[in-house]
Amino acid sequence: MSSRKQILNQLAHRCSHDQALQRPSPQLPEVGAITEWAKKLRTVYATVDEITGIQEVAESISGFLQQWQESEVILSPDPALTPLVALFDQLDIRCEQRPANTDDQIVMTVAYAGIIETGSLVLLSSPETPAGHNFLPECAIVLIQEGRFVPTLESLWGLMEAEGKDMPRALNIISGPSKTADIEQTLVYGAHGPKALHVLLVQDRA
Partner 1 sequence: MKPTRGNQFRQAAIRALADTNLQAALKGAWAGFVEKRREAIAVFPTFSATQDQAIQIRNHTLANLDHYLREFERNTVKAGGQVHWASTTEEANQIVANICKRVKARRITKGKSMVSEEMALNHALIQAGFQVRETDLGEYIIQLADETPSHIVAPAMHKTKAQVEALFDQFHQANLPHNRSREELVGEARSVLREDFIGADVGITGANFLIAGTGSTVLVTNEGNGDLTATLPDVHIITAGIEKVIPSREDLPAFLRLLARSATGQIITAYTTLFTGPKRSGDVDGPEEFHVILLDNGRSKMIGTSFQDALRCIRCGACMNHCAVYSKIGGHVYGSVYPGPIGQVMTPLLSGYEKGEEMIDACTLNGHCAAVCPMRIPLPSLIREHRIEALNHRPGHALQKTGLMLWAKLASWPGVYRPLSNFGVLLISLFPAGLVGWLDRLPGLSRWLQFRAMPRGGKRTFQSRFANRNPVGESAEK
Nearer to partner 1 by Cβ, of 51 and 130: the residue is 130
173 contributes a contact to partner 1 by CB under 8 A? yes
Applying the rule CB under 8 A, the residues between 47 and 66 that interact with partner 1 are none
**Bridging pattern class, strands 179-180 and 149-150:** unpaired
CA-to-CA dists, residue 75 to 44, 59, 64, 95, 124, angstroms: 24, 16, 14, 7, 16
Q: 147, 182 in Cβ contact below 8 A? A: no
Applying the rule CB under 8 A, the residues between 88 and 107 that interact with partner 1 are 99, 102
68 contributes a contact to partner 1 by CB under 8 A? no
178 contributes a contact to partner 1 by CB under 8 A? yes
Strand order in the sheet with 139-145: 47-51, 196-202, 139-145, 106-110, 72-75, 94-97
Strand, helix or coil at 139?
Answer: strand
Question: Site size for partner 1, by CB under 8 A?
Answer: 70
| Piece of 8-16, 47-55, 141-149, 198-206 that binds partner 1 (CB under 8 A) | 8-16
By CB under 8 A, name the one of 86, 162, 192, 206 that touches partner 1.
192
Kindly state the smallest distance separating residue 40's Cβ from partner 1, in Å. Answer: 7
| Piece of 3-11, 47-55, 61-69, 78-86 that binds partner 1 (CB under 8 A) | 3-11
User: How far is C-alpha 160 from the chain's CA centre?
Assistant: 15
34 contributes a contact to partner 1 by CB under 8 A? no
Q: 180, 141 in Cβ contact below 8 A? A: no
